[in-house]
Structure 1
Amino acid sequence: MKHTISALVENKFGVLARVAGMFSGRGFNIETLNVGPVEGGKFSRITVTVRDGNHSVDQCVKQLSRLVNVIEVKDFSSSSAFVARELVMVKVKANSQTRANIVEIADLFRGKVIDVEPDSLIIECTGNPNKILAFLNMIEPFGLLEMARTGNVALERGKLARGDD
């Protein structure tokens, strides 16, 4: 089963290394890892996607919450009350014959052309992982030259902000 785990941490030196090391030290392969500052840079949100396989993620989440500088940890996989998105940027081969078809596919997925060159396009697309996969399957036949993908970022649905409960 795939687990999306979100940790709100203090934005301090070594926190990311401790979090990643905790997962790898317990035999988990991190599929995606996304980190970004929140709340004016004092905190960061780390979003990790792992598969549990033979290991229990529950114990891992408990140990993660005990790490120094970790404020809050949530395993979103135990409930469906969360929203997850990722961003992909692809550089696709394009010429005068294929450009219109590529742009049409990008529009279908609410993607955005962010760079145009005579022989290529760069398109950004955001959505849930299934949407990103479908977009990539449609665009791949044109020839992917490069790709960058963020991995999941996730937030819980409907609950009040931290400190407002």
Structure 2
Amino acid sequence: MKHTLSVLVEDEAGVLSRIAGLFARRGFNIESLAVGHTEQTGVSRITMVVPGDDGVIEQLTKQLYKLINVLKVNDITDKPSVERELMLIKVNATNDTRSEIINFAQIFRARVVDASDESLTIEVVGDPGKMVAIVQVLDRFGIREIARTGKIALTRESGVNTEYLKAQTASALIA
């Protein structure tokens, strides 16, 4: 199972390197990583997606807390949260396919951020499932390049679990 960890750290040189080293020494892979400043001066948030069962994640959490620059570790995998990623995708585009690609971008609420005679670059923001879906749709045009940020996430203060609501809506439509 993949877990999303939100780690608050002191904003100092070498913190990310120490965390990555901790994972590497234990043979764990970080599938997604995003780092940025928080609302609090001197504190950064590292959001990472890590594969492993609950026991592995519990052990990693304990190890993270042993690092002096780590302030808080929160496994938000099962908590109601807002998750987003950013992806730039450069797609082959001819005069014949350009409008079709733009229509697909609009369906995904993406936007064209660069255009040339031979390609379009599209910016997509959304959950990881949306990223997979638009890549599948645009693949037939020929994808030249993809750049993705890691997942960023914050827990929902409302406590509303939209994944639960989506599942309920989908089952109501099927019934």
On whether the aligned pair clears a TM of 0.5, the verdict is yes
- SS of residue in 1 equivalent to 2:136: helix
- Report the equivalent of 1:114: 113
Partner of 2:157: 158
Correspondence 1:30-49 to 2 at 5 A = 30-39=30-39, 42-49=42-49
> Could you say which residue in structure 2 is the equivalent of 1:97?
96
2:95 maps to a residue whose letter is S
Percent identity (aligned): 46
Cα drift, residue 41 of structure 1: 5.3
Asked whether the equivalents of residues 28 and 55 of structure 1 are also in contact (C-alpha less than 8 Å), the reply is no
Structure 1 residue 53 displacement after superposition: 5.7
Question: Match of 1:129?
Answer: 128
| Runs (5+) with no aligned partner, structure 2 | 159-175
Distance 1:56 1:141, change over 3 A: same
**4+ residue runs over 6 A deviation:** none
> What one-letter code is carried by the residue in structure 2 that aligns with 1:25?
R
In the TM superposition, residue 80 of structure 1 has moved relative to its aligned partner by: 3.2
Partner of 2:81: 82
> Secondary structure of 1:30's match?
coil
What's the CA shift for 1:65?
2.4
CA distance in 2, matches of 1:140, 1:44: 36
Structure with the higher fraction of residues in strand conformation? 1
**Aligned amino acid, residue 128 of structure 1:** D
Task: Show the counterpart of 1:19.
Answer: 19
Cα-to-partner distance string for 1:129-155 (whole Å, 9 max, x where unaligned): 111100110011101111100021011
Amino acid at match of 2:89: V
* Letter aligned with residue 2 of structure 2: K
Structure 1, unpaired ranges of 5+: 160-165
